[in-house]
A and B are shown apart, each in its own frame.
Chain A
Amino acid sequence: MTLRDLINKLLGRQTSSANTARERLQLVLAHDRVDMSTLTTDLLDKMRKEILDVVAKYVEIDFEEVAVSLETEDRMTALVANLPIKRTLTGEIEFKKNYDTPKKK
C-alpha cells in the first residue's frame, strides 16, 4: 500500500486505477497461461489421484485436507500440493504436519 492508497481509503475514495489494472491483469493472465499449457481440470484430477496413491504408500494422509492446485507466478506455473500427514505407517507421528511439495511443471 502506498501513501496515496492510504489517503484514498481514509477519504473513502476509489483506489487508484493502476492497482485495479494490476489485479485484473494478474487474474486474466493466470487463466491465459493455464489454457496455453493445456492442463485441464480433468488432467489435474487424474494427477491428484496418482500423487495421493504414491504418497499414501508411505504415510497416512488426511484426505479431508488435501489440496492440489496450479499456481502461476513470474511466468512459471507450479503444481502446489498440500498433503497433511496424520502419521507414518509405523504410527510415529501423532500431530498434524503440513508439507508443501511444489513441483515444476
Chain B
Amino acid sequence: MPEDTRTILICSGKGGVGKTTLTANLGIALANSGVTTAVLDADFGLRNLDLLLGLENRIIYTAQDVLDKNCRLDQALVRHKKEPNLALLPAGDPRMLDWMKPEDMKQISKLLSEKFDIVLVDCPAGVEDGFKNALSACKEAIVVTNPELSAVRDADRVIGILNTSDIKPIQLVINRVRPNMMANQEMLSIEDVQSILSLPLLGIVLEDEQVIISTNRGEPLTLSNTKSPAKKCYLNVSQRLTGKDIPIIDPKNEGKSLKDKFMRLMQTKIF
C-alpha cells in the first residue's frame, strides 16, 4: 500500500560522514527483520551504494531507464542475493546527460512505494539540486553527522532546509563516535551535538575499523557474523526506526577498565 510506505531521506550536508554506509547497513538490517526494503541511490554523480552492498557488477538499468520506459521497474531493481528482502535502485548513471528533476524523483518513489514497506534514499552531499531532488521524494528524514565542527555545522544547514519542507519526523544519527576521545573531552559529546541541533536522537554509531573492512569486502556489517561495536549500533538504529524501544548506547559505558572509570569521574560536572 503506497500510503503506508515510509520513504526516508538519509542526508548530512557534508560528505564522508557515513550516509551511504548507514543506508547500506540499515537496508540490510531492516530487510533481515522481514521488512521489504528498497535503497535508492540518489547520488547519481558519484554513486557508491552499489559498492558497499557488493552489487556493483549487477547493475544494468537505472531509475532513469524506468522513467524513459527502456525497462520495467522489476528489471532495474537489483535484488540482494543473501538478503532477498532488499533491493537496490540506482537513480541514474554517472554519464547521464540530463539531470533528474524533483518530479522524476517523486515518480520513482511512487513506483517503489507500490512494492516496498520502507524506501531509504541515499542523498548526495551538499545542499544544492541533488539534495533538493532527493528531498522532494521523501516523507521522513535521518540526518547523519559526526561529532566534529564542520559536520555539525553542515547538518544544521540541512536541518534548516528540512524544517521549511513538510518532512517529519527528522531524526539524528551521530556517526563515528569515539568514546575515549569523548571521555577525555577532546570530542564534542553526544549531548553537545544533540542540544545544538535539537533533533530527536535515533542512535549513535561507534567508530569501528570493521566498517572499512566490510566495505572492502562489499558486505555490510549487519550482514556478517562478526561481532563489532558498529554492527550493534546499526542494528539498534534499525530497531528504533521500526518503533522498538531500544535504549541508545551510552559511549560513557563503553570502556569497562579502571582507566575508563577514572575518565568518567573526571567528566563529572562540579559547577
Contact = CB atoms under 8 A, between A and B. Distances in A.
A74 B198 contact: yes
Contacts of A4: 185, 266-267
Given A32-B157, A75-B198, A25 B267 contact: no
A25 B186 contact: no
Interface in B158-193: 159-160, 163, 182, 184-189, 192
Interface in B169-227: 182, 184-189, 192, 195-198
Interface stretch (B55-63, B79-87, B130-138, B148-156): B148-156
A74 B270 contact: no
B160 A33 contact: yes
Main secondary structure of the interface of B (DSSP, over half): helix
Contacts of B148: 21
Interface string B256-271: 0000000001111111
B268 A3 contact: yes
Contacts of B149: 21, 24-25, 28
27 contacts: A1-B271, A2-B185, A2-B266, A2-B270, A3-B266, A3-B270, A5-B185, A16-B186, A18-B182, A18-B185, A18-B189, A18-B192, A19-B185, A21-B149, A21-B188, A22-B188, A25-B149, A25-B153, A25-B196, A29-B153, A29-B156, A29-B196, A32-B153, A32-B157, A33-B160, A74-B198, A75-B198
Interface of B: 148-149, 152-153, 156-157, 159-160, 163, 182, 184-189, 192, 195-198, 265-271
